[in-house]
């Protein structure tokens, strides 16, 4: 067994270890852990601690993938819902669809008994409104949000350059690989924007026969390259984990137009080898790692490429 996750996973990483040690299937163990991240206000890129969209509304994304069956459940731009990874698991279990978004996802949550959650942290609301006050005239503020938003899409983006996600990858006691993601998305995003976190093959992919991968930071880039699927497909074609990740990095670096930013790749193969790399990121990037037999999880530093 093994567990790999990005630095924001700290509130729930040990919980997922407990679940894996107890024999729980990978997806379920990861949803348990990621639920603690979604509730933690100190994590400023996921769930309650995250940032709202441009009009001040929280829209959260999440996905789960079972690498043994390759079943997927994903939700995007979900309002008023904190445990979005758990909701994504219900999409996988209950619906013939892979992804449900927006008000449809909230309707599903209500049908299944999920409460309406308060997901906008007061400090996030304060920072969002203070930034708007700096950018808009008194007339525009009075009319907000019934004003053109496109001119603001670059001006007020990301108060702390938060484009992160929480990603968990695991190999369970049955040798199944799984991936689970959750995020509040790009801060100050245009309403309805989806990043890579709910998109299969971009922000995550798992195939128990070969490997699994998940990405954080600039989802606009990994969606264009299908980064997570690139890695798993390369493993299927016989490449080493190192070569598979290098191929994905090469594809990302080939992008010259559009929005270019940092990307962090987390990857494992079926033999439980792992690799975490960052490109275009400022400063060190950390991640969490645990393998069966280790007394405690370790916080490690990603390779900077």
List 68, 165, 181, 222, catalytic entry: 165
Query: How far are the Cα atoms of 2, 17, 33, 66 from residue 172, in angstroms, in the given order?
Result: 7, 10, 14, 11
95: which 2 tokens? Answer: 């619906």
Does residue 197 contact residue 226 with C-beta atoms inside 8 Å? no
Q: Please indicate whether residue 181 is annotated as part of the active site.
A: no
Residue 125 burial (10 A CB sphere; 0-12, 13-18, 19+):
middle
Residue ranges in the chain assigned as alpha helix (H): 13-21, 26-39, 84-94, 102-111, 122-135, 138-143, 152-155, 219-225, 227-236, 241-253
Query: What SS3 class is residue 88?
Result: helix
CA-to-CA distance for 99 and 182, rounded, in angstroms? 14
Question: Catalytic residues, which ones?
Answer: 165
């Amino acid at each position: 067994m093994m567990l790999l996750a990005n630095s924001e996973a700290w509130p729930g990483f040990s919980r997922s270890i407990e679940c894996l040690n107890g024999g729980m299937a990978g997806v379920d163990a990861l949803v348990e852990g990621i639920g603690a991240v979604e509730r933690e206000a100190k994590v400023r890129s996921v769930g309650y601690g995250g940032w709202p969209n441009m009009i001040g509304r929280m829209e959260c994304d999440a996905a789960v993938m079972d690498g043994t069956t390759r079943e997927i459940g994903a939700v995007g731009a979900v309002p008023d819902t904190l445990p979005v990874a758990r909701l994504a698991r219900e999409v996988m279990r209950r619906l013939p669809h892979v992804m449900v978004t927006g008000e449809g996802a909230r309707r599903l949550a209500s049908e299944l008994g999920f409460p309406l959650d308060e997901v906008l942290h007061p400090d996030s609301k304060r920072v969002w409104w203070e930034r708007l006050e700096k950018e808009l005239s008194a007339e525009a503020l009075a009319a907000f949000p019934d004003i053109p938003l496109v001119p603001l899409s670059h001006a007020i983006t990301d108060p702390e350059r938060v484009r992160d996600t929480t990603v968990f990858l695991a190999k369970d006691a049955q040798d199944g690989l799984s991936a689970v993601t959750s995020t509040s998305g790009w801060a100050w995003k245009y309403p309805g924007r989806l990043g890579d976190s709910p998109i299969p093959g971009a922000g995550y992919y798992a195939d128990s026969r070969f490997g699994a991968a998940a990405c954080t930071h600039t989802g606009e880039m990994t969606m264009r390259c299908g980064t997570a699927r690139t890695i798993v497909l390369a493993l299927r074609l016989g490449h080493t984990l190192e070569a598979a990740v290098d191929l994905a990095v090469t594809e990302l670096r080939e992008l010259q137009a559009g929005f270019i930013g940092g990307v962090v790749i987390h990857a494992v193969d079926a033999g439980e080898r792992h690799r975490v790399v960052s490109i275009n990121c400022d400063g060190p990037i950390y991640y969490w790692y645990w393998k069966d037999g280790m007394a405690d999880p370790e916080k490690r530093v990603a390779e900077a490429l």
